[in-house]
Structure 1
């Protein structure tokens, strides 16, 4: 994602810190892992970085803080782990004199600059910067290379139902889908998300489904037949009897279609 390079990044935080030494080779065994690291998958797909370090060495120094019994890692955990796997004994490091609060802040910003964050991780990181360090949407945007409106829109993803968040984390739905789902109630979010996954709907198709759903909500209980038929994605017929009564018939071909219809109507199979 090219936009990552547009932000100020960690460098914007370092001028506030006291730099003790610009670059020093420090023994790997003396560096402690960062307790503020919020991610548990830092060892994921390290091999390309390991091979790069074997060929070129560590091109960018890690950030550390001097401790009584060694050094505390501030930023650069993947480089540290890859250097160990590559067989290095020492790693170039920049030594900073910073508080625990600043260590946590730099660590969080570093994670936000990674390329492999899913939208929920990204939004959660933004929210933590606001909650713990008083960041504004504008300041976050400056750090990661986004405008204020985009940061605000990403934060809105945290209003999604938890089940829908999981679908977004797992890339079963995309961020464009999720932005549309935010406008719905939690129950409708889940219903429409289920349709997106099963039907592999595009963002435009999802927009049309949500538009029809909202139209249905604005109508009386006697919903226009065309709207009902399009929403259910199955033929719907009305049969009128001689005395004025009648039936509304929804046709389906098999149990799978019946199950999909019931989910769209918010019913269970037992209710049929």
Structure 2
């Protein structure tokens, strides 16, 4: 490589042919350059008659923002696009790449490699197993709306949630993402909501955007989940409500009801603390009387 002084105006800093930082790192490096200056020259190459950044894009952007007209660079002549991409990746592996940057890197390699080659040669270097699932998920993420990329890269949205959101049409994706972030769902709840919206859209044969108009009115996470679960699984929701009322009633009599998660089994357990046989007998009689009164009251209400 050749060390040169190059006018920044001669480098196409709008091109992201090889670089893949997300978000671009110019803002992060500006203060460092102001304090200590440029320590390591960026790497550029000549591609289709233009100088393009290969490594150190953030430093070049920061220098331009600081008003510099020229910069020392290392010019890598005669690099093939694949070799330039290899160098771009290697220059970034010293830091923890976020999932969007990994997706962007894979997408760039996929211009020059077959899917099988990209999966086997690139995915392990990005921390993924060489499986088709990861290959196609990352490619979809590289093409996602900017709002989703920012949520993953900057706000820690888990890939498992992003994977489900990528099945949404663009407008519904952005609106659902806004709903998830506004109501601050846990990861498991976010997965439940995204899967449930897709199921409800199919079940009711309605567009996701139409469903979202109804659910976006909620300002409480708990109220949303109660209404959403009741709408999605009405029979299960009714059973959960009945069991909740029974549990509260039994607890008032000193007994504890334990139910299987999601009613995956029909068997419930009733726990009644007692000291001896006579106390157990009294508790059972009192509980039977209480349940009989509850049943009569429920019949009267019905």
Q: TM-score, normalised by structure 1?
A: 0.49
Q: TM-score, normalised by structure 2?
A: 0.45
Larger strand share, 1 or 2: 1
Larger helix share, 1 or 2: 2
Rg comparison, structure with higher value: 2
